[in-house]
Structure 1
């Protein structure tokens, strides 16, 4: 029993519980993140290193695996995202670019990496619903990106979802009031 719980029970009060798993700013609390969400966070950090420093995947991977909390991530998903995005960066950019209102070089590396993750998951992770992919990428952009970067990520990925997950998107739109 934690000190908080023992003092709460000694005082007759129930122990404090998290209301919703969100912080006061709306971000998810660390304890409420799924293993896959953590994998996306670590992949995002690795992709940032690749985009900004042009670091090699092996070096990025070695560094990332030593970060605090990595053991809580879905390692298989992390590997797929990091390696898959780097290996397919030209194809991912080819899909993203037509949805942009500016050049790729003008997009923040965080937004760029979030879009890579989203497009990669749309294409290669059919077990993850398209709305979950979209939401996860928006949350990454909110947590790590600039003030309104998440809106840009949302617009681009929302524009690509009907193309990359057509049957699923159509089904959801027909069945949503």
Structure 2
């Protein structure tokens, strides 16, 4: 497994933990890292993804909600929701990663950690977002630079 794939998997798991915690605090991320320590090869990208999603979650969730017909975000499985958050962060903020790579990674992670339907569900929503981005139909203002993360 590649380092970026491992970073994405760990990011989804950390975001899942934060999502499931009653207060969603930074302490949850610290405890996660204490128990599932990212390797030196995965740490940087892992932190970029987690902090990026946490700082832009409102914008990311709005994009997912807009393109998930008949699905409210809080009714999606926590695994699927956080896989898509990572992928949408990549689509919006990681210009060095081709959109298809982000989507394919999300689908594969969904198949590994989600249900039988997760891959198709994630693909449908992310592909709609990708098309909208390529057609410039998504106007999202992200005021976050991964270089400013503490």
Report the TM range for the smaller structure's normalisation: 0.7 to 0.9
Q: Which residue, out of 20, 23, 44, partners 2:12? A: 44
2:77: which partner in 1? 108
Largest Rg, 1 or 2: 1
Over 6 Å off, 4+ runs: none
1:103 positional shift? 1.2
**Unmatched 5+ residue regions in structure 2?**
137-150
CA distance in 1, matches of 2:100, 2:40: 23
How far apart in 2 are the matches of 1:150 and 1:52?
Answer: 22
Q: TM-score, normalised by structure 1?
A: 0.69
Q: Which residue of structure 1 aligns with residue 49 of structure 2?
A: 81
- Is the counterpart of residue 118 in structure 1 residue 87 in structure 2? yes
The answer to whether the 8 A contact 2:18-2:29 is kept is: no
Which residue is 2:61 aligned to?
93
CA distance in 1, matches of 2:61, 2:107: 18
Q: Which runs of 5+ in 1 are unaligned?
A: 1-32, 168-177
Which of structures 1 and 2 has the larger relative contact order (alpha carbons within 8 angstroms, sep 6+)? Answer: 2
Counting only pairs closer than 5 Å after superposition, residues 9-158 of structure 1 correspond to structure 2 as 33-53=1-21, 54-56=23-25, 58-68=26-36, 70-71=38-39, 73-100=41-68, 101-158=70-127
Q: What is the CA deviation profile of residues 127-154 of structure 1, one whole-angstrom value per residue up to 9, with x for unaligned ones?
A: 1111110010001111111121111110
CA drift of 1:89 comes to: 1.1
Q: TM-score, normalised by structure 2?
A: 0.81
Kindly state the Cα deviation for residue 126 of structure 1 after the two structures are TM-superposed.
1.1
Return the offset for 1:34: 0.9
Q: Give the count of matched residue pairs.
A: 134
